[in-house]
Structure 1
Amino acid sequence: MTVTFFNSKQYDQQSFTEVNDQFGHELRFLAVPLNAQTAMLAKGAQAVCVFVNDRVDAEVLEQLAEAGVELLALRCAGYNNVDLKAAAALGLQVVRVPAYSPYAVAEHTLALILTLNRKTHRAYNRVREGNFALTGLLGFDLHGRTVGLIGLGTIGLATARILKGFGCRVLGFDIQNSPEVEEIGVEFTDLDSLYAQSDIISLHCPLTPETHHLINNDAVAKMKDGVMLINTSRGAIIDTKAVIKGLKSEKIKYLGLDVYEEEGDLFFEDYSNKVIQDDVFMRLLSFNNVLITGHQAFFTADAMHNIAQITLQNITDFAEKKELANAVHA
C-alpha cells in the first residue's frame, strides 16, 4: 500500500524505512502536520499515518476520504485526537499501537521523579560553573515513601514494578482491577484515599471525557501538602491553571511533566529562536521545582522499532483483509 506519513521527523523515517524492508509498502514522508490545510496532500495514498498532535476531526476525515484514503494508522497508543464517529460514518478504518514499550514510559517516569527529588539537573549546572555547594539540593529517600498510580494498564504496572524495587509502598487506582495488581503488591484503592496518602502521584491513564481535567482544584486540595505530581500520560488530564495554584500555595512541591495540555502548538519543534506565546506554559517554566520534557517518554530505540513494526503490520493486515487486532471503534 501507499502510505503518507504526516508530522514525520528524521527518526520516524529511519525506523519505518528500516522495518519496511520486511513489508514492502510505499512510504511517503511529510514534515507538515495533518490538518484541514494539509489533508489533501494524502491524495494517491490508501493509508495515512499520524501522531498524537495531528488534527483528525470530521473536516479532515472528509478530506481524507475524498482523497481516496481508506485507513488511518496511528503510530501511538492514544486516539483522543480522532473523531471516531466521523471515521466510521465515512467508512475509514482506524488502527493504533496499543503498546510499544511500557518500560520506556515507566523508566522516564522514574527519571522525572529522581531528577526532581535529587535535583541532579540543577547540580549539573552548578558543578559546570564551579559551584559545589549543596544548599538547595536536599532530597529524600524514595524507600518507604507512598506512591499513588492513577491508571494501572501496562505502563502503570511497569512503573509499579520499578517503584516496588525502590522499596516504595504503591497505591493504585483504575476503573477496573486485575489479578496482576495484587501479584505486584499494589494496594488497589479509591481516588480520595490515593490523594490523601500519596507522597508522589503519577498519572498513567488515557485521556477520555471522564479523565479530562481529572487533576483539578478539588483533586489538588485533597492531596498531601508537599506532594510530587508526575504526568507522562496525556496533558489534558491536568488542569494546568489548578496545578499552578497548587505550586504557588506549595501544596504541590514538585511537578514533572512530559506532556502539556496545549502541547500541539509547541512540542516536537524547535522554538529556541522564537518567543513562545503560551503564557500558561511560560508560567510553569518560571518555577524552579517544575521539570518539563517535550513528550519524549516513549522515545527509545526499542519503542521506535516496536511502533514501526506494529504500525506496518496493522497496514499489512488491512491490505490483506485480515482481522485488525488493533482497530479502534467509536
Structure 2
Amino acid sequence: MSTKEISVTAKVAFFSTQAYDKVFFEKHNIDFGYKLEFFDTQLNEQTAKLIQDTDVVCVFVNDVVNESVIKKLAKKNVKIIALRCAGFNNVDLEAAKRFGIKVCRVPAYSPEAVAEHAIAMILTLNRKTHKAYNRVREQNFSLNGLLGFDLRGKTVGIIGTGNIGKAFAKIVKGFGCNILAYDIVTDSEMEKDGVTFVSLETIFKESEIISLHCPLNEQTKHIINKKSIALMKDRVMIINTSRGGLIETASAIEGLKEGKIGYLGIDVYEQEEKLFFRDLSADIIQDDAIQRLMSFPNVLVTAHQAFFTNEALTQIALVTFGNIQVLLENKEIENKAAILI
C-alpha cells in the first residue's frame, strides 16, 4: 500500500498542540499526506471525547494516557498512540496491549539539543550570566555577587548514559572535567573516552555537578531525595533536563535552604503539566513549590525547552510520521526502539 493510498483514511489527532507543532508537522506532512487535526488541550479522560473518526492519537509528555483513557480510545477505534517524545512513562503500555492499540515514540531526535541545554544551565548558574545581563541593562557594572568557578578539573556525575547522556559526556569532556557515570549497563565506548562508571552512591558522594539523563520509572522516581542529597558534597550543582519526577521537590527545597544544594537547574518539574507550555503571566500561580523554587537566587527554571531546536523538531516530525506509516502499513520495523507495542 502506498503512502498516497493510506492518506485517504489515516487521520492523526494531536493533543497538547503548540504553534510550533503545527508548523513542523504540517510542513513535513507533505511527504505523507495524512489528515491532521490539532487540539491545544491536554489529552485526558474528559478531552478524549474530542476524538472522532481518528486512526492515530499523537501525544506529548504531559498528556494523560492511562487505562481509562486508552479504553475510551479503543471504543473510538484508535489504532495507534504516537508519542512525539522519547519518554513514555505517561502511557499505560499494558492497557494499550490489552486493547490492541499500538504505541510508538521518538527514541532519539537530537540528543545534542538536550545535552547542550544542560550545559547552558550549568554555565548560566555558575557564571550568573542571566543576572549580569539584567544588571548591565540597569547600568550596574559591578561584579559583586557574580563570582563563578572553573569547570576544568571538576567532577561531573552523569546519571543515565543513553543517547543524551553520551552527548552530554562528550561536551563536558571538552571542558576538561573528570566524568563519572552511572547506568544499569556500562558503555564500553564511553569508558574508552575516559568516562568512569561507578555506583550511584559514588556519583552522589564524589560529584560536584550531577546531571540527570535517565528515564522516569519505578526505580528512578525521586532518585534525588533527602537521603541522596545528604550524601552529596556541600554546594553541589544538580541539573535535570530529563523528567520532573526524578527529583523530590520538597527535599530539593530543604537542600537549598540548608545550603547543601548550591545550584539547581531544572528544565522539568514534577507538576509541570499544570504550568509548562502556557502563558500564565496574568495568573496567580497556585503551585507553592514552584514559587518557592523560583524565589531562590541559585535556582534556574526553564519550561521544558531543552528539546526546542529546529533540528530536533524536524526529526520529531519525520520520525513520528515514519513510525505511523510503518505501523499502518505493517512494514518491517527498522528502528526497534521506536515501537513500544
Corresponding residue for residue 110 of structure 1: 119
| One-letter amino acid matched to 1:28 | E
2-side partners of 1:307 and 1:187: how far apart? 32
Q: Within 5 A, what are the aligned runs for 1:86-235?
A: 86-235=95-244
Q: Secondary structure at the match of 1:34?
A: coil
Q: Within 5 A, what are the aligned runs for 1:257-272?
A: 257-272=266-281
Q: Within 5 A, what are the aligned runs for 1:58-77?
A: 58-77=67-86
| One-letter amino acid matched to 2:301 | I
Q: Percent identity?
A: 55
Corresponding residue for residue 251 of structure 1: 260
| One-letter amino acid matched to 1:194 | I
The superposition leaves residues 77-112 of structure 1 with CA deviations (integer Å, 9 ceiling, x where unpaired) of 000000111111100000000000000000000000
CA RMSD of aligned residues (A): 0.8
Conservation of the 8 A alpha-carbon contact between 1:255 and 1:289: yes
1-side partners of 2:226 and 2:102: how far apart? 38
Q: 1:317 aligns with which of 326, 338, 341?
A: 326
TM-score (normalised: structure 1): 0.99
Task: Give the C-alpha shift of residue 172 in structure 1.
Answer: 0.3
Runs of 5+ consecutive residues of structure 1 not aligned to the other structure:
none
2-side partners of 1:167 and 1:42: how far apart? 52
Task: Give the C-alpha shift of residue 190 in structure 1.
Answer: 0.5
| One-letter amino acid matched to 2:38 | F
Task: Give the C-alpha shift of residue 184 in structure 1.
Answer: 2.2
| One-letter amino acid matched to 2:41 | V
Task: Give the C-alpha shift of residue 48 in structure 1.
Answer: 0.6
| One-letter amino acid matched to 2:133 | Y
Corresponding residue for residue 2 of structure 1: 11
Conservation of the 8 A alpha-carbon contact between 1:215 and 1:239: yes
Q: Secondary structure at the match of 1:54?
A: coil
Conservation of the 8 A alpha-carbon contact between 1:70 and 1:91: yes
The superposition leaves residues 39-62 of structure 1 with CA deviations (integer Å, 9 ceiling, x where unpaired) of 121221110100000000111111
Corresponding residue for residue 44 of structure 1: 53
Corresponding residue for residue 288 of structure 2: 279
| One-letter amino acid matched to 1:53 | N
The superposition leaves residues 26-47 of structure 1 with CA deviations (integer Å, 9 ceiling, x where unpaired) of 1111111101111121221110
| One-letter amino acid matched to 1:189 | V
Corresponding residue for residue 251 of structure 2: 242
Q: 2:88 aligns with which of 73, 79, 82?
A: 79
Task: Give the C-alpha shift of residue 323 in structure 1.
Answer: 3.4
1-side partners of 2:70 and 2:277: how far apart? 23
2-side partners of 1:223 and 1:194: how far apart? 8
Give runs of ≥4 in structure 1 deviating > 2 Å. Answer: none
1-side partners of 2:141 and 2:130: how far apart? 14
Conservation of the 8 A alpha-carbon contact between 1:52 and 1:76: yes
Q: Secondary structure at the match of 1:112?
A: helix
| One-letter amino acid matched to 2:88 | Y
Task: Give the C-alpha shift of residue 201 in structure 1.
Answer: 0.4
User: Does structure 1 residue 296 correspond to structure 2 residue 315?
Assistant: no
The superposition leaves residues 214-260 of structure 1 with CA deviations (integer Å, 9 ceiling, x where unpaired) of 11111000000010000000000000100111101111000000000
Q: 2:40 aligns with which of 7, 31, 44?
A: 31
TM-score (normalised: structure 2): 0.95
2-side partners of 1:182 and 1:18: how far apart? 41
Q: Secondary structure at the match of 1:229?
A: strand
Q: Secondary structure at the match of 2:12?
A: strand
Task: Give the C-alpha shift of residue 6 in structure 1.
Answer: 0.7
Report the number of matched residues: 329
Task: Give the C-alpha shift of residue 196 in structure 1.
Answer: 1.1
